[in-house]
Structure 1
Amino acid sequence: MSTSTSKYVVSEQPLGTARHIRVITIGAGASGLNMIRTLRQKLTNYEHIVYEKNPSVGGTWYENRYPGCMCDIPAHNYQFSWKQNPRWCTFLASAEEIEQYLCKIYEDEKMEPEIKTSHRVTSAIWDGEKSSWRLKVENLQTKEVFDDSCQFLLDASGILNNWKWPDIPGLNTFKGDLLHTANWPDDFDYSGKRVAVIGNGSSGVQIMPTLQKDVKKLIQFVRSPLWVVPPVQHTLLTDKSHDILREVEMDGDKFTAGQIERFVADPEYHLRFVKMVEEEINDRFSLLIKDSQAASYAMQGLVQYMMAALGGNPRLMKALIPNFSVGCRRLTPAVGYLECLRASNVRVVTDPITEIVENGIKTSTGEIVEIDVLVCATGFDVSFCPRFPIVGRDGVDLRDLWGDGKIPKAYMSVAVPGFPNYFTFLGPNAPIGHGSVLTITEHIATYITTLLHKSQTESIRSLAPSLAATEDFYEHIEAFMPRTAWTSSCRSWFKNGEAGGVVRALHPGSRIHWFHMLECIRGEDWEFKYEKNGGRGEKGNRFSYLGNGFSTKELGGGDKSWYLGTLKEDPRVKDANIGVEDGDPKVGER
């Protein structure tokens, strides 16, 4: 018998009762939109608001609209599993078409009530006494700053949206048009002009073929070589192992009208196509294992492809074909890029830039390349460091933990020690090196929602991963990464642009490996604080959720003998797991 003098009081609510919680999500890109749907599907008795800084939803696909912008994942796989779109026009979808897809989800799912556009979160501070997050939010239209709060804060602000200018002396002295690919002005006319592009990452190689058709002169300044892969539809649709892929009708990179109608008319056929493409993409993780036979074959094939696409030009081959491992930089299906470099109005410059001057770019040779337009395809800040204060326990700011060159560490990429009830989408070390992020974010949402439901129904006030579990996770990451191409000597955003840096962005394994890892909640890795009860103060009682001895599974209209099997036709509500909301009458009052 317990000798405790605490005045523990039995709750009069049944087991399974879901207490009310308030959730705030930052960002209405793909992750934020999917989170709305996941919460609706899996939780009861909650309130959810999404703050989005842009005037519309879509995230990176609202912001990135430079000429030629597209996704490097096949369109039919760059979609949510719960919102299939059989009407994609091209094998690789344009930014405009992806934005339209996300906006249609917003409209079809009637998400407007949960989203406040043109609202930017400017600070988030954990209140340990109240077990809640206190936020400052700015209405970007009215400039009003107001307070808000929630029990759970979900950060879906993304990693590829904080674009950055290159650190080059004299950049702001340039008298021509200075542009960044991630902030492209609507209707900008570049035709007939002398245009320079700095950078050959994904945006740099996508914009080049489009600009080349209309400019007078196009100069690309290249600092590093890169592996360019053949168009994805060519490598997948010629695969001898899958008839369904080979039979797809294409007109260049577009699906024929007949093919689109077949996708629409036969959902089973469409799903088979999607699954086949997905499996082919997932299988390519083996190429990223350093010194593997698959990696060796891939390198040989890519060298031959790039040599042919560059027309055997010795100078271009020396500048662009790497000697580092395949996949050290993200593999880029840059449609038309290599071919456009051979055009008479295109020049590739590998001499380092020393200065930007009023009329052009000065290189290390002393040459001044005169231009009218300077396009910076120089990417994003991918340090994972927040742009506003996120302050957890003991006044610790996440910017101090992850800023100033420090290695950002997140438990399984989704949570941070010392930051209770805070979750991130696509945080450090997520599996974003290959495959679609939309299916990734679906798994993150399910994982987070499972933890929210656990908190609602098990009297948990706050939860955060332990520091010990997170350090063990990163010990494994550091030991595993040398097996991969990502640690080769190349400049990559996976390593925040540092040739010999630590791989910050990627998971130590395949996408399937990561999905598998997130299937279960490892309770032993988490620190829980429980609801106060009676005289037990801060400690709470972890079993107070057991309540009055009854279960929500036996109350209401559900199947009360589900454990004996389910009748084919049962007029009762089949989901016996719906929680009883706070405020429901006690069992004795029913």
Structure 2
Amino acid sequence: MVSQTNGIHPQLNGTPSYTIREQPLGTPRHVRIIAIGAGASGINLLRALRLGLPAGSYSVVVYEKNANVGGTWLENRYPGCRCDVPSHSYQFSWKRKRDWSNFFADAEEIDGYLKEAVGEVEGAREAIRTRHQVVGAWWREEEGKWRVRVKRLEDGEEFEDEAEFVVDATGILNNWKWPDVEGREDYQGTLIHTARWPEGLDHTGKTVIVIGNGSSAVQVVPELQPGAAKLYNVFRTPTWIVPPRIQAWKIMGKAGEILSKIQLDEHENFAPETIERFKTDPEFYREFVKKIEVEVNSTFPVLLVNSPVQAFARAKVTEYMRAALGGDAALCEALIPDFPLGCRRMTPGHAYLRALTQDNVEVRRAGIRRFVSDGLELESGEVLRADVIVCATGFDTSFCPRFPLVGKGGENLQDRWRRETPRAYMSVAVDGVPNYFMFLGPNAPIGHGSVFTLSEHIARYIVSAIHKCQTEGIRALAPSSRAVADYAAHIAAFMPRTAWAAPGGRSWFKNDTADGPVTALHPGSRIHFFHMLERFRGEDWEYVYEGEGGNRFGYLGNGFSTKELDPGVDSTWYLEESAWELALDALESARLHNATALW
């Protein structure tokens, strides 16, 4: 028999003694969290922390490089910039906006919405440090903490901060890049990137080149075309331009009936009477929001390459593009892809196609050899001379961290992801990088619909993991290498089913390659992603526990529970009808599962 005295249990075989932690089960450990980025994801994180962690059990700071919140929608202000996801889907579930002015909101309105939203999250403004840029982060294994280096952009001074957890909420479409073409410094005209549009630019009567045909180019070309003396659109790869979504949904979508009850003008602005009804008729507004969300969620079948839905949709979009281009053989040859629909991001752009047919516009489907003093030299040798060159060339989507991110064993994640395909666990965490979480990391559903609701699900998942650490004596956690490898194997096996992986279509989904692995998209539908994140799979993670010896059950404490000691908690919650129903449902599910297994 082993004796026990004062909570000390001498262990067998000479192992260290284990001491009972004198606190009740459920006591949270105080943690500090450093978040990076105050766009939609950062705002959602602050709200999820407020709702998901006990008051007083954490502190948080958000470092934001810009002068205000808003992220992508603060930075991108080129002419025509707007979201191509419907406004009533592109919003937080916890902040419904009833007076969106347009079916597809523009950048300025979305930016204003985000500023209003952050004001409604208690303590959010105080937690955000604008004009502060994270320049490095190092994991300290012996302390179970991150050391983070931050530059204060107002004066260039650097300082260090530390925290138990680091959360990267910078997003994927935030780090803009110039085209990978030599001689940029040789060009003597006005050079612009769409993500850094200068105020007051006057292109009237000038020759303009727009490089690219992704979403930004599709939006900016029709804005520049009317005033330009000449406009060239130069791109390497054709792209799918889809019909106006409202029109398509009215004809064969599930939202056709509700869409017939709203009024829009020719620019898709909501009529005043429709906005008033949204404000005064909550049931109608709720129905509208949910039906639009169903449409946003229903696109995945189109992306399965061998499905009849893909074949039908591809034929219809081809027919639409030919008609919109006026049957012009040269334009159709340049613009209509020979790869599956959805291999590149599908973008609505009727105005873009119409602009390309105008007399002052010429299209060049060609590679660029170099910048020259007065324009661009194409690989064909042709020189296009221009007063203004607009680079609608997108963002760095390599997922490589923008600063040294040094995890366990001193490995810099920058080095790992430069030499190999970026891999993550369910897009939110990385093996070998403890207590580090991401929004929209590798293979997130960034092209599946609204990132606002995506970030809500991801924020809840991250907060649940932090709470687990707080209350279960976990000093550090990271997904296992085996779990990440297995998840990557599933992605690699699944992606050939989709249009995203089709060869020949150069896309940021594949890190701006034509034939590389799909690193930017989730292997499934949007609902599939939400379902996947419903439960934290503890078996996929590796843990370091607190205390001498790291006993995983140290958190059980002194035999009491916070649920019986906290006067604000119902200590007989298990007698509530809902609790009984949940327990019975669980038993019934287990019975059915066992019966199925036996069968």
* Fold match (TM-score > 0.5): yes
Structure 1 residues 321-371: Cα deviation after superposition (integer angstroms, max 9, x where no partner):
011000000110124110111111111112432222111222234332221
Q: CA deviation at 1:189?
A: 1.6
The one-letter amino acid of 1:13's match is Q
Query: Which position in structure 1 is the counterpart of 2:597?
Result: none
Q: Which residue of 2 aligns with 1:570?
A: none
Quote the residue 1:262 is aligned against: 277
Moved more, 236-245 or 262-271: 236-245
Q: Deviations over 1:261-289 (max 9, x none)?
A: 11111222212111111111211100000
Q: 1:6 to 1:217 in 2, by over 3 A?
A: same
Aligned to 2:575: 564
Q: 1:216 aligns with which of 229, 235, 248?
A: 229
Q: 1:49 aligns to what?
A: 61
User: Considering only aligned residues, what root-mean-square deviation do their CA atoms show, in Å?
Assistant: 1.3
**1:541 to 2:541 alignment:** no
Q: CA deviation at 1:236?
A: 2.1
Paired residues of 1:209 and 1:337 also in contact (CA < 8 A): yes
Task: Say which of 98, 103, 108 aligns to 1:96.
Answer: 108
- Which deviates more from structure 2 when the two are superposed, residues 551-560 or residues 481-490? 551-560
Determine if contact 1:239/1:246 at 8 Å carries over to the other structure.
Answer: no
Using the TM superposition, name which of 558-567 and 203-212 deviates more. Answer: 558-567
The C-alpha deviation readout for 1:198-220, integer Å capped at 9, x for no partner, is 10011111100111122221110
Deviation at 1:241, TM superposition (A): 4.4
Shift of 1:161: 1.3
Q: 2:178 aligns with which of 165, 168, 180?
A: 165
Shift of 1:566: 6.7
Question: Quick check: 1:31 aligned with 2:46?
Answer: no
Asked if 1 retains the 8 angstrom alpha-carbon contact of 2:46 and 2:121, the reply is no
* Structural mapping, 1:188-587, within 5 Å: 188-239=201-252, 241-242=254-255, 243-252=257-266, 253-404=268-419, 406-489=420-503, 490-533=505-548, 536=549, 540-555=550-565, 556-565=567-576
Gaps of 5+ in 1: 568-590
Which secondary structure does the structure 2 equivalent of 1:432 belong to? coil
Detail structure 1 runs of 4+ shifted over 3 Å in the superposition: 237-242
Structure 1 residue identity aligned to 2:71: G
Cα distance, 1:566–1:557 mapped onto 2, change above 3 Å: farther
Residue 584 of structure 1: aligned partner? none
For 1:140-155, list aligned pairs within 5 A: 140-155=153-168
CA contact (8 A) 2:24 2:559 kept: yes
Change (3 A) 1:74 1:437: same
Say if 1:238 and 1:246, in contact at 8 Å, map to a contact too.
Answer: no
CA drift at 1:524: 0.9
CA distance in 2, matches of 1:520, 1:240: 32
1:557 Cα deviation after fit:
2.4
Residue 180 (structure 1) aligned with residue 186 (structure 2): no
Q: Which amino acid counterpart does residue 105 of structure 2 have in structure 1?
A: A
Tell me: CA distance 1:396–1:314, structure 2 relative to 1, closer, same or farther (3 Å).
same
Partner of 1:8: 18
Distance in 2 separating the partners of 1:528 and 1:271? 43
TM score, norm. by length of structure 1: 0.93
- Write out per-residue CA displacement over residues 281-326 of structure 1, whole angstroms, 9 at most, x where no aligned residue: 2111000001200000000100111011101111100000011000
1:512-541 CA-to-partner distances (Å, cap 9, x unmatched) read 1111111111111000111114xx2xxx11
- In the alignment, the residues of structure 2 paired with residue 79 and residue 238 of structure 1 have an alpha-carbon distance, to the nearest angstrom, of 25
Tell me the equivalent position of 1:17: 27
**Offset of 1:251 from its aligned partner?**
1.0
Equivalent residue number for residue 581 of structure 1: none
Give the Å deviation of 1:426: 0.2
Q: Which residue of 2 aligns with 1:40?
A: 50
Shift in CA distance, 240/103, structure 1 to aligned 2, threshold 3 Å: closer
TM-score (norm 2): 0.92
**1:170-218 deviation line (CA, Å, top 9, x unaligned):** 2211111001111111222222211100100111111001111222211
SS in 2 for 1:218: strand
Whole-angstrom CA distance in 2 between matches of 1:430 and 1:84: 24
Q: Which amino acid is 1:115 matched to? A: I
Distance in 2, Cα, partners of 1:197 & 1:50: 36
One-letter amino acid of the structure 2 residue matched with residue 330 of structure 1: R
- CA distance in 2 between counterparts of 1:213 and 1:388 reads 42
The offset of 1:260, in angstroms, is 0.7
**1:139-171 Cα distance to aligned partner (Å, 9 max, x none):** 000211111000000011111111111122222
Aligned length: 561
In the alignment, the residues of structure 2 paired with residue 193 and residue 234 of structure 1 have an alpha-carbon distance, to the nearest angstrom, of: 35
Task: Tell me which of 59, 64, 82 is aligned to 2:71.
Answer: 59
Match of 1:129 in 2: 142
In 2, the alpha carbon distance for the partners of 1:422 and 1:32 equals 14
Cα distance change, pair 241–542 in 1 and its aligned pair in 2 (3 A): closer
Letter in 1 for 2:125: E
> Structure 2 CA distance, aligned partners of 1:114 and 1:241?
42
Indicate the SS of the match to 2:108.
Answer: helix
**Separation in 1 of the partners of 2:22 and 2:253?**
64
- How far, CA to CA, are the matches of 2:380 and 2:271 in structure 1? 50
The alignment partner of 1:463 has SS state of: strand
Q: Give the residue type in structure 2 aligned to 1:202.
A: S
Alignment partner of 1:418: what SS?
A: coil
Check conservation: 1:62, 1:99, Cα contact below 8 A.
Answer: yes
Q: Is the 8 A contact 1:12 1:548 kept in 2?
A: yes
Contact 1:458 1:545 in 2 (8 A): yes
Q: Would you say the 8 A contact 1:238–1:245 is kept in 2? A: no
Query: Contact conserved, 1:74 with 1:232, CA < 8 A, in 2?
Result: no
**CA–CA distance in structure 1, aligned partners of residues 375 and 126 of structure 2:** 49
The one-letter amino acid paired with 1:146 is F
| Residues 492, 388 of structure 1: alpha-carbon distance in 2 compared, 3 angstrom cutoff | same
Per-residue deviation, 1:433 = 2.0
Q: Distance in 1 between matches of 2:84 and 2:112?
A: 17
Residue 80 of structure 2 is matched in structure 1 by 68
Unaligned 5+ runs, structure 2: 3-10, 579-599
